[in-house]
Structure 1
């Protein structure tokens, strides 16, 4: 090891006209201290040389180090591009294994894998449209199971992501968990009387909204008493209660893949909640009247129906902005996202509208969607033509969409019917497919993610009031089994 030893410091010349104090004694002490410093430095440097040489003696030769690289060096040698390539190969291998399980064959269909990859890209971009409506057989009367448990009208429902359970809320202030396979109730969260809010663990007014997280960890419910309860979906345990809205909570929705909850209220605001921290995040304002419904998917966005202000809004949470769409019909009472780019809405004038987030006007509008002129249509074919039907007052009470597909559904309040619709290519028009008779107000409905079931919440009254009452209706959950054309399997 090369090094330099500094020599003794040179003596500084004493300025003329000045004398050392104490007869030169300080000068002698300084020279002794300097020599001691030099000795210490020499000994320290010699120790460093010895230690360096000892390390060199035990160090592995360079040739051996090249043959035996360490694990950290090998990890550093993998570039970012090589890592992406390795992860891509792993993902493709995983897809091949899944395709093996789906097809139950050893031959791997490369076209099927590439098709699935394209679908995933389109779904992430919000433009995926699966052609599934033509696969169903609507000519035969569908099989239905009626589940009774609520004393008053069912107002809302939600299905778990695994399609095994459904949760329903009612005007009797209760929440019921249903098993969709056995068609039985698993537990009931009973409602309480007004004035018992401090002691009763549950709702004491009409339950108007339900939402469940995509990992089935949280179930949220909102009611007319301005509060949001958060439950454990497995056992019905109350986890937390949010307070902050100044009027009835009319809509709830979880952002897909997260524990972020969006809530809409008759106080004209949208609130954002974080259920990981059980904390309030922010409030969004913009609507001029009571918000009637809300929905969201994967993006940090939410869509809302503004009721009598005749607007629909797309809330961009990150950008802190909103897009406003003016409805051509009456009060907008319900809304549902088809994918990230398109959604459907229903109004109290009986019209349903198909929207694109890129256009301010609806791509398609079906007026009087629940009039008798659609009663004779099956699989898109009309049995009667050139018939004039009178205008009927059938509000659109709920809409549903099979996510990222061309299959939609609407309910016309007191007409006791569910109508199924097909979107054309590019979501430019709506074609009627079939009509399903269900006596009562269909206040809520949802498709299972695999499209095998359509679950409807039925009541004798509308979810928000008592304008009409159908005494023949049953307050119940109706499970409709949808059959495919190919093999007739459900």
Structure 2
């Protein structure tokens, strides 16, 4: 038995087995399956070991801190993560608060602007510019009569007694486009004006430019290309004032025929006519409300026209012909007259809030002094800064800047800028960074006298400012 036992255990499989010989249960199967199984297992085992190793390595790399860091280090790490999270939340809250405050500030300004009570305090920081910083643009042959600045402050349009219109680039001072004037009597053939242009305005979106002339005509141009679009007729006298309603394409026009007309430029349509002045209208202005203000020349009245209500308010205060008007905001305006006075008005009071007589001094012999005419006025909208321009003899003309006292109760002189000629037009840029002055050898409305030494051109005057103090208010109600 022992010998057979050793034979069994040490016995190797025979090489030559008889086909069909009986075999023990599982003997042949185990022998046959062993080799292929081991081969197959080797292939799988190689992949499995790699995967297992990679997985283990990955797990270890991700969870190193679980095995390596001490409890104190873990607490420190978690505390840092928590602080980072708090910082992110705080920064996010600050950004949201800043945006909310910014929006609230804009809404507050819009409400005050609509109510006519927004007053930005700018004048206190203004200082006179150096003479070398003032630029002169020349291109018109005769006196400049009117000008406008686009809302983005990039371009200036000017018009002249030579019947031409020029579009200027503010930065370079170059002429971008010129609409030449034609000779009188060639109205049917010439696209443009053939007589003196007296007034102009541009829509707040910069799409349309409107110009009015001595020949009772209103021309509408595409501001971008200076292409002629429409011609409005209907006035029976020279067109002396034009103003687009802010945010719309409604156009108000005034004339020496004593009427105010309303037009819709988009529809190329006439809307209505308003009457009330007793003399030629010399100036007109408007903002976003459905109303406009006009000056009636020698009827010595200023009128506020409420278009929707078909009513008007009449104001008196000057002793001479009122030649120019400009709205500061929806409820305050400034006017100038040939008696040399400048008046500050509120639309709720029939008398001026403030009057400065002989605002630009006098000329003439002793005892026979005559005040310099105030030919033009301008206002930096919703601020405390206004300007006036006067005619003078030889080099005595000047542009005077004024500061409106709080709540527009008075006018205080800031500084004056001497120029030679008639200051026929004044405009502040929307940003308040510069003032544009249109100067001519003659008055825009006539030829009472001529200043030969003057240059027919446009002065661009930078408005230099001292840095504002942080504790001073920027606006008031």
TM-score interval for Structure 1 and Structure 2 normalised by the shorter chain: 0.7 to 0.9
Offset of residue 116 of structure 1: 3.4
Partner residue in 1 for 2:53: none
Instruction: Say if 1:141 and 1:193 are closer, same or farther in 2 by CA, change over 3 A.
Output: closer
Q: Distance in 2 between matches of 1:142 and 1:449?
A: 23
- 1:68-88 per-residue CA deviation (whole Å, 9 max, x = no partner) reads xxxxxxxxxxxxxxxxxxxxx
2:453 aligned with 1:472:
yes
Instruction: Say if 1:107 and 1:396 are closer, same or farther in 2 by CA, change over 3 A.
Output: same
Offset of residue 392 of structure 1: 3.5
Q: Paired residue for 2:410, among 411, 416, 429?
A: 429
- 1:201-260 per-residue CA deviation (whole Å, 9 max, x = no partner) reads 010100001010011111000000000010011111110000000010001000000000
Query: In the TM superposition, what are the counterparts of 1:247-326 in structure 2 within 5 Å?
Result: 247-326=237-316
Asked if structure 2 preserves the Cα contact closer than 8 Å seen for 1:371 and 1:389, the reply is: no
Q: Distance in 2 between matches of 1:142 and 1:215?
A: 33
Asked if structure 2 preserves the Cα contact closer than 8 Å seen for 1:394 and 1:413, the reply is: yes
Offset of residue 327 of structure 1: 2.5
Partner residue in 1 for 2:109: 119
Asked if structure 1 preserves the Cα contact closer than 8 Å seen for 2:318 and 2:341, the reply is: no
2:375 aligned with 1:397:
yes
Q: Paired residue for 1:412, among 385, 390, 398?
A: 390
2:141 aligned with 1:163:
no
- 1:417-461 per-residue CA deviation (whole Å, 9 max, x = no partner) reads 000000001101000000001111110010001100100111001
Partner residue in 1 for 2:206: 216
Partner residue in 2 for 1:131: 121
- 1:172-223 per-residue CA deviation (whole Å, 9 max, x = no partner) reads 0000001111111101100011110011001010000101001111100000
Offset of residue 326 of structure 1: 1.2
Q: Distance in 1 between matches of 2:302 and 2:222?
A: 32
Offset of residue 341 of structure 1: 0.3
Q: Distance in 2 between matches of 1:196 and 1:139?
A: 45
Asked if structure 1 preserves the Cα contact closer than 8 Å seen for 2:138 and 2:457, the reply is: yes
Query: In the TM superposition, what are the counterparts of 1:333-348 in structure 2 within 5 Å?
Result: 333-348=323-338
Asked if structure 1 preserves the Cα contact closer than 8 Å seen for 2:149 and 2:155, the reply is: yes
SS in 2 for 1:116: helix
Query: In the TM superposition, what are the counterparts of 1:26-37 in structure 2 within 5 Å?
Result: none
Asked if structure 2 preserves the Cα contact closer than 8 Å seen for 1:292 and 1:332, the reply is: yes
2:167 aligned with 1:177:
yes
Instruction: Say if 1:288 and 1:113 are closer, same or farther in 2 by CA, change over 3 A.
Output: same
Q: Distance in 2 between matches of 1:367 and 1:137?
A: 24
2:314 aligned with 1:355:
no
Larger mean Cα displacement after TM superposition, 266-275 or 137-146: 137-146
Asked if structure 2 preserves the Cα contact closer than 8 Å seen for 1:142 and 1:480, the reply is: no
Offset of residue 372 of structure 1: 6.7
Q: Distance in 1 between matches of 2:180 and 2:343?
A: 37
Q: Distance in 2 between matches of 1:366 and 1:390?
A: 20
SS in 2 for 1:121: helix
SS in 2 for 1:167: strand
Offset of residue 112 of structure 1: 5.3
The structure that has the greater radius of gyration is 2
Q: Distance in 2 between matches of 1:435 and 1:109?
A: 41
- Equivalent pairs counted in the alignment come to 370
Q: Distance in 1 between matches of 2:421 and 2:101?
A: 46
Asked if structure 1 preserves the Cα contact closer than 8 Å seen for 2:362 and 2:371, the reply is: no
SS in 2 for 1:298: coil
Asked if structure 2 preserves the Cα contact closer than 8 Å seen for 1:354 and 1:365, the reply is: yes
Asked if structure 1 preserves the Cα contact closer than 8 Å seen for 2:129 and 2:462, the reply is: no
SS in 1 for 2:406: coil
Asked if structure 2 preserves the Cα contact closer than 8 Å seen for 1:219 and 1:233, the reply is: yes
Q: Distance in 2 between matches of 1:226 and 1:450?
A: 34
Q: Paired residue for 1:462, among 443, 457, 462?
A: 443
What is the alpha-carbon root mean square deviation over aligned residues?
2.0
Asked if structure 2 preserves the Cα contact closer than 8 Å seen for 1:368 and 1:391, the reply is: no
Instruction: Say if 1:315 and 1:142 are closer, same or farther in 2 by CA, change over 3 A.
Output: farther
Q: Distance in 1 between matches of 2:156 and 2:264?
A: 23
Offset of residue 108 of structure 1: 2.8
Offset of residue 129 of structure 1: 0.6
Offset of residue 141 of structure 1: 4.6
Asked if structure 1 preserves the Cα contact closer than 8 Å seen for 2:341 and 2:359, the reply is: yes
